[in-house]
Structure 1
Amino acid sequence: MVVKFKDSSLLKPAEETWQGCLTLSEFDQVGSITHISTIYFYRPDQNWVTQPETIANILKDSLRRTLVPFYPLAGRLRWIEGRRLELDCNGMGVQFIEAESDSKLDDFDDFYPSPVYHSLFPAVDYNLPIHELPILLVQLTRFKCGGVCLSLKISHAVVDGHSASRFYLEWARVARGQPIAVMPFHDRNAFQARHPPAQSLVFEHTELNQPPILLGQSNDIEVKNKKNTNTMLRLTRDQVERLKQMANEGTNFNNSDTKRPYTRYETVAGHIWRCASKSRNLRDEQAMQLAVWMDFRSRIKPPLPQGYFGNATFYVNATSLSGDLLSKPLGYASSRIREAIEKVTNDYVLSALEKLKNQPDLTQFQDLHRAIESDQGSFHGNPNVGVVSWLTVPFWGLDFGWGKEIYMGPGTHDFDGDFVILPSANGDGSVFVALSLQVVHVDAFKKHFYEDFI
């Protein structure tokens, strides 16, 4: 796809905002600290604003006004002692790029994540010092048919998915002339007021202590560097319900070990895990990890404020031998995932926070660029997977005044074993799974994904 870049500018808040350094929590500074990518496509209709300059101006003006309460996004990150980050709220601004393409929306077979669409996203040069990188980058691309796409990259060191989606929705409200619905809460010291758990409740936190499980006995660079590809697969409501039925078959929900039926996430993630193992032809004795990202906003006591604007997620690992995963029913995979999820209690979160606070250096827990594979702190790659849930994240329904999107999805993923589960736009109960796998495994994965529950 040929995309011509027309303009790039830094947009600052419309009014003067607080200036100073914002302390980040340890949960902001571990895992991936690059940018979360999201893209929206809009198709023209009879109410469409026809002038591209008008569309751009509406977006830019409303963005500048939304940055007033969301002023941290206009700042810059910088390194401090102990490989830690702080957020300099200096009002330098967010990057806004305008582009156009001779393509039409009808030229797209689908809008699923693909390297073909790289030019629709703003580029981030991670070779630059981190204090030179915008925290938020936006690209508006207008197509020949009059449709547009809006792509966004926002720093994962500043926000998680819930905070990012909240900002996007508030920006759209401002563009439509409506007030902010939920004002952001910026005090990252909200965790500090909580007492750490008693010594008897300090947990091992193997997700922080152990390196990723390797394929075989050594880290096979040749295997690790095989080419990856992206695709999107859909499960209808009936297929999701069939998987849930399979996962819950033979389970006594009155048993204390199983208090409730397996959720949609536990079921679909378990199915993904089994299909990945099959498609990779893993040996029975091969150990595997599935990383689960947990939002703990409501799991800690007291819960974080509704508008908490930062990272409130933490990952835990479900583990299994490949042979156990495949020889046992789907419910076994779901049970391993639930076991990991249920570890994330108030005391578990605060214990992890204390452990990270006591680290003299956070380097081993950080991934500055997940697209560049690292031996430290990365769960990605054969035999492991990571399954992120967007099932409860309100990314859909971004209306700037010209209607809701026809498609929304994550950006392309360049690393093996990354999965994102998304709900359908119309709430019909179907789900989409955006995935990145090595090319040699994709066809087998698709086969198992659709045939293993017929």
Structure 2
Amino acid sequence: MCNGKVEFSVNMTNEETVAAALPMQEHWLPLSNLDLILPPVDVSVFFCYNKPIITIGTHHNNIVECLKNSLAEALVSYYAFAGEIVANSMGEPELLCNNRGVDFVEAFADIELQSLNLYNPDESVEGKLVPKKKHGVLAVQVTWMKCGGLVVACTFDHRIADAYSANMFFVSWAEIARPKNNKSFIPTTQPCFRRSLLTPRRPPSIHPSLYDMYVPITDLPPPPAPELESDIKTDPIISRIYYVTSEELNNMQSLANSNNSSSTKRSKLESFSALLWKMVAAAASTDNENIVAKMGLVVDGRKRLSNGDKNKEEIMSSYFGNVLSIPYGGRLGNELVENPLSWVADRVHDFLEEAVTEEHFLGLIDWVEEHRPIPGLARIYCGSTGGEGGPTFVVSSGQRFPESKVDFGWGKPVLGSYHFPWGGDAGYVMPMPSPKRNGDWLLYMHLPKTHLHYMEARAPHFFRPISWDYLLN
């Protein structure tokens, strides 16, 4: 199978706007304090299908009509994706639920699906198979391949939805699209938009650790001088997709727990984050042993805010919006390199402990309220600011990525992945389950080029470039 560079073009064949199937009363939906902590960045996700065949026929128009009609039905419940963001009188973003609709593009790519270089999504996916969101909150692109394969991709505004919320939408859209006898079918999950679930407290209670994790944008240092910017550009941040076998993941977790005397084992995510922290530090330390390597881990607060309350847990499990925090740790590069993986995994666990409680998320809601209308930002997003000059990256678990459930009626995708080259100075890594469902992981990694090359050279048994040979065998 081809994994080298293959030039191809994508031609847009149709573009329209898909609105919700039922009319709705125009209304405003305020962003929660946990939405306001997100910068205005877009997230993309794509699903690859081999030659779709559904009961209504194989004609392209039938399949696209099925996608559009089911999208229109899905937007009745997920109306936030059919709106647009407008600034309010305080200058803060709000969601105008006006059923503006979703920009829907149909395209044709003059390449076989299995000739796509998935290992290098900057070449094969970015600007070609995932749409650029021009208006509204969500954009969709459906691209036919020369072989008859299909790529369905979406780009959405992160301020409106986190990955958990987007996953709910993808599954519901696919459920509606699948042929069924019951025409009044209701998707498994109905989204909840109750912002009152994330109301700040009176009086507020803010733990001092939150002032270390988050910063008002007015307190950020000025951008780097032009000469430093040129240095940054010499080592661009690029995207790659790898797979890791379940055997390597188990070996890694065993090493991370080798000196752990506690009854609680380090999870695979903690263990992987520790391994990545060590390798990024090693790659960056080749030029400077005194660098400080910083790593953040995205924590979903839905279960934390439920705090064991079954009723609230059920409500929070369908909450649509952002319920995220990003605790982080910073360590000297040589400290991370020289200590065993188990020691680094313990340090990951240490800084995670601060953010896995109900009090942490309630305090974060209060922190945002204290600084409004000045926007806040997770410090880890700010990249190598603060004078240390070391590498900075974020790990976000995609283990709940529902790729196997995004079946529109013609079978499961052969591959699904998030694509998030967010444009900042910090890197981003998302591990997801392999579509083979055999315990392997896929890794979407957006890191400096030299760091990725270092990892590939030092650990080729672990970071294996994704290929069609792997996916189809």
TM range (shorter): 0.7 to 0.9
| Other-structure match for 1:189 | 196
The match for 2:113 among 96, 102, 105 is 105
1: CA distance, partners of 2:139 / 2:415: 20
Indicate conservation of the 8 Å contact 2:290/2:334, yes or no: yes
2:318 pairs with one of 301, 307, 314 = 307
Residues 202 and 348 in structure 1, CA contact (< 8 A), matched pair in contact too: no
> Between Structure 1 and Structure 2, which shows a larger proportion of helix residues?
2
Q: For the structure 1 residues 377 and 298, does the alpha-carbon distance in structure 2 shift closer, same or farther, using more than 3 Å as the test? A: farther
Residue matched to 1:71: 79
- 2:353 corresponds, among 338, 342, 360, to 342
Amino acid at match of 1:78: V
Equivalent of 2:214 in 193, 208, 211: 208
Is the 2:53–2:410 contact (alpha carbons within 8 Å) kept by the matching residues of 1?
Answer: no
* Offset at residue 109 of structure 1 (A): 4.2
Structure-2 residue corresponding to 1:175:
177
Q: Does 1:324 align with 2:335?
A: yes
The answer to whether 1:296 aligns with 2:304 is no
* Residues 1:219 and 1:165: Cα distance change in structure 2 (over 3 Å): farther
The answer to whether residue 91 in structure 2 is matched with residue 89 in structure 1 is no
Counterpart residue identity of residue 407, structure 1: L
Residue type of the alignment partner of 1:330: L
Question: Deviation at 1:222?
Answer: 2.7
Distance 1:20 1:4 in 2: 37
TM-superposition CA deviations, 1:283-339 (whole Å, max 9, x none): 333222101111000001454532111111111112211111111111222122212
- Residue number among 400, 406, 413 corresponding to 2:414 in the alignment: 406
Indicate yes or no: 2:140 matched with 1:138: yes
Is the 1:43–1:405 Cα contact (8 Å) retained in structure 2? yes
TM-score normalised by structure 2 residue count? 0.84
1:334-356 Cα offsets, whole Å, 9 max, x none, are: 12221222111111111111111
In structure 2, what is the equivalent of residue 360 of structure 1?
372
Deviation at 1:154, TM superposition (A): 1.3
Partner residue in 1 for 2:37: 30
The alpha-carbon deviation at position 241 of structure 1 amounts to: 0.6
What's 2:447 paired with? 437
Q: Assess, with a 3 A threshold, how the Cα gap between structure 1 residues 296 and 104 changes in structure 2: closer, same or farther.
A: same
Structure 1 residues 147-175: Cα deviation after superposition (integer angstroms, max 9, x where no partner): 11001011111110000010010000001
Q: 1:113 touches 1:434 (CA, 8 Å); kept in 2?
A: no
Other structure's SS at 2:400 match: coil
Report which stretch shifted further, 77-86 or 93-102: 77-86
Q: Distance in 2 between matches of 1:113 and 1:382?
A: 26
Residue 26 of structure 2 contacts residue 98 of structure 2 at CA under 8 Å; is this kept in 1? yes
Q: 1:196 to 1:241 in 2, by over 3 A?
A: farther
Q: Which residue of 2 aligns with 1:245?
A: 254
SS of the residue aligned with 1:324? helix
Shift of 1:441: 3.2
Distance in 1 (alpha carbons) for counterparts of 2:212 and 2:233: 26
SS at match of 2:262: coil
**Separation of aligned partners in 2, 1:59 and 1:452:** 37
Match of 2:430, SS state, is strand
Once residues 291 and 374 of structure 1 are traced to their aligned partners in structure 2, the CA distance between those partners, rounded to angstroms, is 11
Answer with 349-358 or 302-311: which moved more. Answer: 302-311
Aligned residues: 434
1:41 pairs with 29, 44, 48, which one? 48
In structure 2, the gaps of 5 or more residues are 1-7, 464-473
Query: For the structure 1 residues 158 and 204, does the alpha-carbon distance in structure 2 shift closer, same or farther, using more than 3 Å as the test?
Result: closer
- Do the aligned partners of 1:13 and 1:65 also contact (CA within 8 Å) in 2? yes
**Paired residue for 1:284?**
289
| 1:268 corresponding residue in structure 2 | 272
Is contact 1:196-1:350 (8 Å) kept?
Answer: no
Secondary structure of 1:57's counterpart equals helix
In angstroms, what is the RMSD of aligned CA positions? 3.1
One-letter code of the match for 1:447? Answer: A
Task: Give the residue type in structure 2 aligned to 1:84.
Answer: E
The alpha-carbon distance between structure 1 residues 82 and 329, as it changes in their structure 2 partners (threshold 3 A), is farther
1:32-83 deviation per Cα after TM superposition (whole angstroms, max 9, x unaligned): 3322100001001665842110111000001001111111111111112444
Partner of residue 420, structure 1:
430
| Distance of aligned partners of 1:225 and 1:242 in 2 relative to their CA distance in 1, 3 Å threshold | same
* Partner in structure 2 of residue 160 of structure 1: 162
What is the CA–CA distance in structure 2 between the aligned matches of 1:378 and 1:435, rounded to whole Å?
Answer: 24
CA shift for structure 1 position 123: 1.5
Deviation at 1:198, TM superposition (A): 4.7
What is the rounded CA distance, in whole Å, between the counterparts of 1:452 and 1:55 in structure 2? 39
SS at match of 1:220: helix
Q: Distance in 2 between matches of 1:409 and 1:285?
A: 35
For residue 388 of structure 1, the aligned residue among 376, 396, 399 is 396
Check conservation: 1:141, 1:150, Cα contact below 8 A.
yes
Q: Is the 8 A contact 1:35 1:154 kept in 2?
A: yes
How far apart in 1 are the matches of 2:279 and 2:204?
A: 38
Q: 2: CA distance between counterparts of 1:326 and 1:418?
A: 20
Contact 2:44–2:419 (8 Å) recurs in 1: yes
Answer with 441-450 or 24-33: which moved more.
441-450
The two structures have a TM-score, normalised by structure 1, of 0.87
1:31 Cα deviation (Å)? 2.9
